[in-house]
Amino acid sequence: MPLAPHDKTHILEEVVKKFAQKTYRTLLCAYVDYEKEEYGRLHELTSGFKTEEAKAKTEANLVVTGIFGLMDPLRDGIKAAVERCHKSGINVRMCTGDNIDTATAISMEAGIITRTDMLNNEGGYLCMTGEQFRNAVGGLVEIADPKNKDKIIQKVANIKAFKAIQKDLRVLARSSPEDKYLLVTGLKELDKVVAVTGDGTNDAPALNRADVGFAMGVTGTDVAKNAADIVLIDDNFVSILTAILYGRNIYDSVRKFLQF
């Protein structure tokens, strides 16, 4: 029996949303039956289901079997590490492909945002989806470098909107690698010092664009590692604090030496 509108609302509001608010990632399982000959004909007619329209036709009339909640618990020490970052003047932002409810719940558990932040979120910029962020700042535009007319540089189309958003933005949900690159580009345009973490091939542009790129040594791809400045051999966010500690110590030592 086809799902009625109220059934879809129940799945979204009563199941998916509640899972997300508990930091669970949701996975809906469904199937559709095809005869072997019919499936082969569809595959041939759509050239291997290459277009979204072809996929949508093939996946019509699916039968839902269940929804699973999957939890990826925070590593030990993450919340304390985020707290130390905040005390050290480091603004931690989370870019994720999770839906906004899951991303918000995880960020609260990690201490990236607090309930006070949620209550004071007047502009609505604290947690945004990649699409909302992209549309609000207008994406990237390419212009000639004022210092070198033969060079093309990328800038945020609406830097005024970006400046207002970045003050509050802590979570970017349902975001793509392009959104991550856009965020890094805008922050650098405002003369911020930007560090980025990533493990996938698509993270390489953002890792390379940042002042400091941290790639994951265990789960990271070779492309991400080559684009990064530092490779975390344990894939642990806490290790970034160690790098900052040594970096600031070296900086302070050099500054004292030059003053002497």
- Residues 92-133: pLDDT tens digits? 999 999 889 899 999 999 999 998 988 888 888 999 999 999
Question: With contact defined as beta carbons under 8 Å apart, do 103 and 127 qualify?
Answer: yes
Given a cut of 80, is residue 200 above it in pLDDT? yes
Q: Other CB atoms closer than 10 Å to residue 30's CB: what's the count?
A: 12
Residues 85 and 212 reside in one and the same domain = yes
- Give the bridge partners for 67, in sequence order: 28
- Residues 132-156: pLDDT tens digits? 999 999 999 998 888 887 888 899 9
d(CA 128, CA 184): 16
- Give the bridge partners for 25, in sequence order: 70
Q: Among residues of the chain, what percentage have pLDDT more than 90?
A: 50
Residue 142 covered by a domain: yes
Residue 176 covered by a domain: yes
What residues contact 45, with CB distance under 8 A and at least 6 apart?
none
Q: Among residues of the chain, what percentage have pLDDT more than 70?
A: 98
Burial (CB count within 10 angstroms: exposed 0-12, middle 13-18, buried 19+), residue 95: buried
Identify the sign of the CA torsion 253, 257, 258, 260.
positive
Residues 132 and 44 reside in one and the same domain = no
Residues 15 and 136 reside in one and the same domain = no
Domain that holds residue 58: 5-70
Residue 260 covered by a domain: no
What residues contact 89, with CB distance under 8 A and at least 6 apart?
none
Residue 200 covered by a domain: yes
Residues 82 and 196 reside in one and the same domain = yes
118: domain CATH number is 3.40.50.1000
Pairing label, strands 63-70, 148-156: unpaired
Amino acid identity for residue 166 in this structure: Q
pTM comes to: 0.81
Identify the sign of the CA torsion 162, 202, 191, 119.
positive
Count how many domains the chain has.
Answer: 2
Residues 64 and 82 reside in one and the same domain = no
- Residues 43-86: pLDDT tens digits? 887 778 778 887 887 877 888 888 888 888 888 889 999 999 99
Residues 9 and 110 reside in one and the same domain = no
d(CA 174, CA 208): 22
* Boundary residue ending a domain (70, 88, 105): 70
Report in angstroms the alpha-carbon separations of 185 from 63, 194, 200, 205, 206: 43, 9, 19, 10, 8
Residues 208 and 233 reside in one and the same domain = yes
Residues 94 and 63 reside in one and the same domain = no
Residue 110: φ, ψ to 5°: -85, -10
